[in-house]
Structure 1
Amino acid sequence: MKPILLATAFILAPAGLASAADTNEGQAAYDWSGSYAGVDVGYAVGSSDHLVTSGGGDLNSPIDPNGFIGGIHIGLNREMASRFVLGAEADLMYAAVDGQTAFGSGGGALVKGEVKWSGSARLRAGYAYDRTLPYITAGVAAARYQVLVTTGGFGGDQPYREETHVGWTVGGGVEHALSDRWIARVEFRYSDFGSKALSAVNGFTTETHVDLQTHDIRVGLSYKF
């Protein structure tokens, strides 16, 4: 009896597969073309060095801020006949990303770094597997970064640098269309916001620099118009 059933299944299987293929061909493939907007939340791990150069030797204090980020994005996609998807996107993120370290070997003062916000304008490219779109992205990035010193005594925190750092960002991710309008995503990004010099105007007579890089992972939800 079992050989008969196996033979029957073997004979009917191609017909079943052909029927499923016909059904899939009858359904229109998802179209990624169009504009969209959405929200993101995530976590950023930063690397930041406060470098003081003087005749007595360099003093480097790694601040390395980290914390949560959240914000909005808006973009536009165009799907080609070859299933390649090209697009452009901009985002703006509020950041609760900070860190601190001892200033010098004495440990009497702390250097703090706080990322206030970050944003980017990027190009994107991906390949559509119907409702799933893996992609890469790269572009210009900016972040508002504040550096301050605190001694724990009278006067408290003393900010001596808050400026917008401009650099670049690169990353990749995967999007999946949950419906014709709603799209979920997960994305990883590396951003290098460059280095800023602190001049004598800030009260420093020696050459001082602060740089900032971040690695962040984000999840998001978009609405396609």
Structure 2
Amino acid sequence: MKKLAIAAVAGSALLTGVVTASAADMTVKAAPLAPAPFSWTGFYVGANVGGAWTPDNGGSDFGPLFPPFIVLAPQAAIPTLIPGQLDVLTGGGRQSGVIGGGQVGYNWQINQFVLGFEADAVGSGLNGSRGTATRSFGPPILLATVNQTVTVDFGRMDWMASIRGRAGFAVDRALFYVTGGAAVTEIGGSTTTVVNGPGIAIPAGTAVATNGGPGTRWGWTVGGGIEWAFHQNWSVAGEYRHTDFGNVVSAFTIPSGLAAAPVFATGTSTSRLTVDQATARINYRFNWGGPVVASY
């Protein structure tokens, strides 16, 4: 009997140890380590594509846009010289084009706040703003109405670039941000087209003048966007920006059609060159998943 009692006690103790060990093992397996919080910190490179446009009211002029011209009979009983005048170029229609390029930058996350910088460059087929104006003269100054129209197309922008700061608020894998900084572009030569209606003898018909381009223009840009990380190293974003390159002044020449005096008159026109753009962007991030810096 004593031997049976000793064996029973020993078996019970062994069974209790096994159960206790199994329970402890299950407890450890049931509590895996929590994953590290997602972080936006790190360098990134990417590509973008979208559209850009200049507004309808991009052109304006407060100088001698129209030079004098001469009207002959039957619009006038005698040759009449119509002097130049101050006028205003109004928008001649929105100019738009496709843009595409790349960007590089760095983000640094502090709690839920993300700070960083970005540089980007895009190629474009975007024309600058267009301005047009028409003036008419008729009775009692003239016997019949004559018209003159001037259209100024401000230079083509083959590329644009910017260097900007960024500040955003992260909600896990979504980043809401604003951005702003300096922008630069190269503007080609502008073109001035003067259409003189019937009755205008000098200069007659249509004259087209290519003006010297203002070259490189610096300005400012501001905007914002939303970025979403769909993978540990990849994200997509949508961004909108408004860019202002300031006033562009263009001088043009009106030919006379006469060999002895080929230049009839000159004028100047001014345009406020602004660009709005919306792009879709994709980024690849290096060292993504680094620690989120805590600030207390």
- What corresponds to 2:180 in structure 1? 138
Matched, 1:41 2:31: no
Question: How many angstroms apart in 2 are the aligned matches of 1:131 and 1:73?
Answer: 20
Matched, 1:69 2:112: no
CA change 1:154–1:57 in 2 (3 A) is closer
State the aligned residue count: 201
Question: How many angstroms apart in 2 are the aligned matches of 1:182 and 1:132?
Answer: 12
The one-letter code matched in structure 2 to 1:111 is V
In the alignment, structure 2 segments of 5+ residues that lack a partner are: 1-30, 65-83, 135-146, 196-204, 254-262, 287-296
2:153 to 88, 102, 112: 112
- What corresponds to 1:13 in structure 2? none
- The 3-state SS of whatever aligns with 1:134 is strand
Matched, 1:163 2:227: no
Comparing 51-60 with 123-132, greater Cα deviation is found at 51-60
* Deviation, structure 1 residue 108: 5.6
- What corresponds to 1:4 in structure 2? none
Question: How many angstroms apart in 2 are the aligned matches of 1:102 and 1:27?
Answer: 59
* Deviation, structure 1 residue 160: 3.1
* TM-score, length of structure 1 as denominator length: 0.76
Matched, 1:215 2:276: yes
Q: Is the 8 A contact 1:148 1:161 kept in 2?
A: no
- What corresponds to 1:93 in structure 2? 122
- The 3-state SS of whatever aligns with 1:104 is strand
Q: Is the 8 A contact 2:214 2:248 kept in 1?
A: no
- What corresponds to 1:11 in structure 2? none
In the alignment, structure 1 segments of 5+ residues that lack a partner are: 1-21
The one-letter code matched in structure 2 to 1:96 is G
The one-letter code matched in structure 2 to 1:128 is A
Tell me which structure has the larger Cα radius of gyration: 2
Question: How many angstroms apart in 2 are the aligned matches of 1:73 and 1:49?
Answer: 31
Q: Is the 8 A contact 2:175 2:228 kept in 1?
A: yes
2:40 to 28, 32, 55: 32
- What corresponds to 2:13 in structure 1? none
1:184 to 221, 224, 236: 236
* Deviation, structure 1 residue 57: 1.1
- The 3-state SS of whatever aligns with 1:189 is strand
* Deviation, structure 1 residue 216: 1.3
- What corresponds to 1:12 in structure 2? none
The one-letter code matched in structure 2 to 1:137 is T
- What corresponds to 1:83 in structure 2? 112
- The 3-state SS of whatever aligns with 2:212 is strand
* Deviation, structure 1 residue 175: 0.6
The one-letter code matched in structure 2 to 1:40 is N
Q: Deviations over 1:112-159 (max 9, x none)?
A: 232221111100000111111010001111222232235699997724
Q: Is the 8 A contact 1:37 1:75 kept in 2?
A: yes
RMSD over aligned CA atoms reads: 3.0
* TM-score, length of structure 2 as denominator length: 0.59
CA change 1:59–1:139 in 2 (3 A) is same
